[in-house]
Amino acid sequence: MRKEELQQRIEEYLKNEDNTYFTADLEKVIKGNDTDELNDRFYTSLSFGTGGLRGKIGGGLNRMNPYIVRKATQGLSNYIRENTSTGSAVIAYDSRHFSDLFADEAARILCSNGIKTYLFSSLRPTPVLSFAVRELGATAGIVVTASHNPAEYNGYKVYWSDGGQIVPPHDSGIINEVNAVEGPLKPMTKEEALKKGLLVIIDKEIDEPFVSLVKSCSIRPELLKTMGKDLKIVYTPLHGTGTVLVERTLKEMGVRVLTVPEQREPDGDFPTVKYPNPEIASALELAIELAKKESADMLMGTDPDADRLGIAVPDGDTIVLVTGNQLGALLADYIFSSRQEVGRLPEKSAFVKTIVTTELQRIIVETYGVKCYDVLTGFKYIAEKIREFETTGESFIFGGEESYGYLVTDKVRDKDAVSAAFLAVEMTLYHRSKGKSVLDRLKELWNEFGYFEELLISRYFEGQEGKIIMDKLMSSLRDNPPKEFGGIQVDLIKDYKTGMTIHASGKKANDIQLPPSNVLQFYLTDGSKVTVRPSGTEPKIKFYASCRTEAGIPLEKAKEITQIKLQAIEKQVDALL
């Protein structure tokens, strides 16, 4: 960036930011003459990704700070006023640094625009925000969170009246309004907003119906009542929002919950983990230690905003981590089989998963006559599909994604670790009542449908240069696609950006019925699949590999075959990167 342009953007930000912490943060970088850091803070403005804002906390146009939050919220306010006669909004926030401040800034901007705003009195999980939007009949919702990102990040996700994250046409409409906002913004004080009745503080009036909703997701409530006391669960909220509601819902059904003491209290530094993400084994180390010490029957972890759930279970003297794909398969198996058995499976039942989620889940649900729908990565697309079902007459029963996100009720329209944890416990009790563990059931599924194993390879590319690198890589894969991965021939390619399917023979078809997205999928001749996409929320590119063997092959041999394939694919991906 040219020096004059950089200076102009710095002055623009300092003119519009009135929070002294953030102006001082920027002044420190200026005095240190850190040109690279200044360029990173100003080469672009933090923009909406897959549902809102996400970025590092700090002073600058490419950072999360009060001015950027005010600007985003003014744009949202303008959109609400243009599209509704009496708009309202709900705001929740998590345990990250400045989440409460950013939530307060957003609330005051909305109130300054005459939009009635409901603000939670303290931190709450993301699924509670989604539920609250629907419960209160609000026009929009905001949750201040950066989900599972490292401690230096925060974010801001926007929801529409259906309780799902914004999708077309609302996403582009709001973005256009945000981009049009200029100049300093001076919201009314919190005291004035409360006095005028524009700001309403909420807590138990949402918590109570949410807890009732979680309990209503039970398919076999008698299991919890009769066997719950015999189950010992170790739980970690990873310093986030999950503590109160996960503990409460399980304890009220008689389950013993031991929460990891070092990780129970909210803390935006996430002092005991490098990444507060239950997808990462190291984040669950303290929970594993406690589970071994207490001879627990299961351990569970949720990320800071409690929308992702990870579990692990004992297998002899070891604790086995269950992947997101595996837990999704187990939940799908339990939910659909149990609903069919108790007579609660509607005729037009539907299951929704993302295009990078294991095909094992599709195979399982289709055995119950259930329609499986694939959507793009991002839970907002699952929510959008649920809204479509309201007009088609289909019944959403379950949905999920490989990144540890699950939804077991249509009353919430984003991934919900609280309800998923509740069902995971009930599922464990059910299999125990049949004399088996969840791992035993997983092996049965593999024996019946074939062995599936997945691998995720991620590489970070920070800043302006990183984006250029990722763009070049995606272009290279489109222009010169690999003819094989790991020695297995590519049979066809799906390009979700163009909507085209390209066969190895050269035949092409414009047959992808999903919104354009910068995603490539390589289908291999043996049924394996490799997907590549830049992340919508982090500066990284992701390769998803999924390999399988046919049913009938002894399990240990199937694992060996599949792992050899995955190792070969990983080696080739490493070479590409």
Active site residues: 147
Cβ atoms of residues 40 and 463 within 8 Å? yes
For residue 265, give the nearest of 451, 154, 123, 129 by alpha carbon.
123
DSSP β-ladder status, 88-93 and 199-202? unpaired
Query: What is the C-alpha to C-alpha distance for residues 87 and 217, in angstroms, rounded to an integer?
Result: 31
Query: What is the C-alpha to C-alpha distance for residues 115 and 138, in angstroms, rounded to an integer?
Result: 10
Element (H, E) at 347: none
Query: What is the C-alpha to C-alpha distance for residues 328 and 453, in angstroms, rounded to an integer?
Result: 13
* Residue 212, amino acid: S
Using a 10 angstrom Cβ sphere, with 0-12 exposed, 13-18 middle and 19 or more buried, the burial of residue 67 is buried
On the question of a cis peptide bond just before residue 169, with omega within 30 degrees of 0, the verdict is yes
DSSP β-ladder status, 405-407 and 395-401? antiparallel
Helix and strand totals (H; E) in the chain = 19, 23
Alpha carbon separation from 323 to 99, 240, 442 (Å, rounded): 29, 21, 11
- HEC profile of 359-420: HHHHHHHHCCCCEEEEECCCHHHHHHHHHHHHHHCCEEEEEEECCCEEECCCCCCCCCHHHH
Phi, psi (degrees; rounded to nearest 5) at 99: -60, -45
Cβ atoms of residues 326 and 449 within 8 Å? no
